């Protein structure tokens, strides 16, 4: 084969780029086919496993925080809710007991506070002794502590209606639980009339803040991906924001976080296949058969007026039937895609 090629054409070395002399007839006899490379602005990597997630701080667990029974449920799974919207009504004897303890402490504290204010005025006028004032003050301060303890017990139970309780001085038999933030109900975990205790999980609320896409990228690709690059998953788009700094030992991959551009119809915890698109410059897509491999690198053969010039290229991305390369090329060039093995033999002969 090498002898035939040598008879067909001679090869010379010009400016370190092998030029293979060949006329149109010789090209036809050799079976050379040429085509234009296609300029590309980005290359695709993937598919990678990805999952839609939401930050832990935006997941709210609605707990009962008190024993009792579920009187009413006002929401369903996947229902959107506003901040402050009523979720559950809880009936609780324990809640009544805690409110009564608070009311008792509140009334007593109000009395001791007024006594202290009265004795302070009397002391200032020189009517009572300092000892009497200190005794009244001690009772008031002890009452302050008792009131704080009773209030904190109610707060732990999730109760916040102190203004109403202090005004009507009568305990509420039911507790209303509301959404802490706008979002949607991910899971309702109880039924009406079900008995509950303080640890019972009633529901999960996912905040309406935008979820994000977590992509597992093998370590061999991680250096090629940069912040701001585009991600496609199931006809949706995201933008790479950041990367983890620690590699998962088992999967040998890194986690990328990407901001979803339109999260209105994404489903949290759903797994997707994601592709990352990287911006490239002076890159072209050509058939894989156009690229030949030599000990000095990768080459393509660019058609010239009197033959072919071997041009060294860098491989950027390889797919099943085409390859993206960068090098001294333009979209107007004609590149050999067939009979490249014969051209490689001629190039090797030119260097001997």
pLDDT tens column, 10-57 = 333 334 457 888 888 888 888 899 999 999 999 989 999 999 999 988
The mean of the pLDDT values for the chain is: 88
Average pLDDT of the segment spanning 254-279: 90
d(C-alpha 229, C-alpha 241), whole Å: 8
The CATH number for 106's domain is 2.40.50.100
Answer yes or no: do 62 and 202 share one domain: yes
Answer yes or no: do 163 and 224 share one domain: no
Average pLDDT of the segment spanning 238-260: 90
pLDDT at position 14 is 36
d(C-alpha 175, C-alpha 261), whole Å: 40
Answer yes or no: do 94 and 153 share one domain: yes
Of 149, 179, 207, at which residue does a domain stop? 207
Q: Count CB atoms within 10 A of the CB of residue 4.
A: 11
Answer yes or no: do 253 and 195 share one domain: no
267 pLDDT above the threshold of 90? no
352 pLDDT above the threshold of 80? no
Answer yes or no: do 31 and 104 share one domain: no
Chain position carrying tokens 């002391």: 123
Q: Kindly state the DSSP code that residue 235 receives in the 8-state scheme.
A: T
Model confidence at 5, pLDDT cuts 50, 70, 90, reads very low
Answer yes or no: do 245 and 259 share one domain: yes
Interval 297-348: pLDDT, tens: 899 999 998 899 999 999 988 888 899 999 999 999 999 999 988 888 877 7
Answer for the pair 234, 52: CB distance below 8 angstroms, yes or no: no
Q: What is this structure's pTM?
A: 0.64
Answer yes or no: do 78 and 203 share one domain: yes
Which tokens sit at 141?
Answer: 């301060």
Terminal Cα distance for the chain, rounded? 16
Answer yes or no: do 189 and 64 share one domain: yes
> Quick one: which H or E segment has residue 141?
helix 130-156
Answer yes or no: do 289 and 265 share one domain: no
- Is the backbone of residue 242 left (phi > 0), alpha (psi -120 to 50) or beta? beta
Interval 141-153: pLDDT, tens: 999 999 999 999 9
Domain range for 317 is 2-41+281-350
Residue 62 phi, psi (nearest 5): -95, 105
Strand partners, 13: 18
Interval 83-106: pLDDT, tens: 999 999 999 999 999 999 999 999
3 pLDDT above the threshold of 70? no
How many H-runs (helices) and E-runs (strands) does the chain carry?
A: 7, 22
pLDDT at position 342 is 86
pLDDT at position 151 is 96
276 burial (CB, 10 Å; 0-12 / 13-18 / 19+) is buried
Higher pLDDT, 227 or 263: 227
Total of domains in the chain: 3
The CATH number for 257's domain is 2.40.30.170
């Amino acid at each position: 084969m090498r002898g035939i090629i040598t008879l067909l054409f001679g090869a010379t070395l010009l400016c370190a780029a092998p030029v293979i002399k060949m006329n149109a007839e010789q090209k036809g006899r050799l079976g050379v086919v040429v085509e234009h490379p296609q300029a590309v602005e980005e290359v695709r990597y993937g598919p990678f496993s990805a999952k839609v997630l939401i930050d832990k701080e935006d997941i709210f667990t609605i707990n009962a925080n008190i024993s009792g029974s579920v009187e009413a449920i006002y929401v369903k799974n996947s229902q959107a809710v506003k901040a402050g919207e009523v979720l559950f009504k809880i009936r609780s004897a324990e809640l009544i007991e805690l409110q009564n303890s608070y009311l008792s402490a509140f009334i007593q504290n109000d009395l001791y506070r007024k006594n202290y204010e009265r004795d302070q005025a009397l002391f200032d006028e020189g009517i009572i002794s300092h000892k009497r004032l200190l005794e009244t003050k001690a009772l008031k301060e002890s009452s302050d502590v008792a009131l704080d303890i009773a209030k904190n017990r109610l707060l732990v139970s999730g109760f916040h209606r102190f203004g109403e309780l202090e005004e009507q001085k009568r305990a509420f038999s039911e507790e209303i639980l509301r959404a802490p933030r706008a979002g949607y109900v991910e899971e309702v975990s109880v039924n009406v009339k079900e008995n509950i205790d303080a640890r019972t999980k009633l529901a999960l609320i996912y905040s309406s803040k935008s979820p994000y896409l977590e992509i597992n990228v093998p370590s061999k690709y991680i250096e090629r991906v940069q912040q701001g690059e585009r991600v496609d998953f199931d006809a949706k788009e995201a933008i790479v924001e950041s990367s983890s700094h620690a590699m998962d030992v088992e999967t040998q991959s890194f986690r990328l976080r990407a901001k979803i551009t339109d999260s209105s119809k994404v489903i949290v915890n759903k797994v997707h296949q994601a592709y990352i698109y990287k911006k490239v410059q002076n890159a072209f897509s050509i058939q894989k058969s156009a690229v030949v491999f030599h000990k000095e690198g990768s080459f393509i053969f660019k058609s010239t007026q009197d033959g072919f010039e071997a041009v060294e290229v860098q491989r950027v991305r390889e797919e099943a039937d085409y390859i993206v390369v960068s090098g001294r090329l333009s979209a107007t060039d004609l590149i050999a895609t067939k009979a490249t093995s014969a051209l490689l033999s001629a190039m090797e002969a030119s260097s001997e």
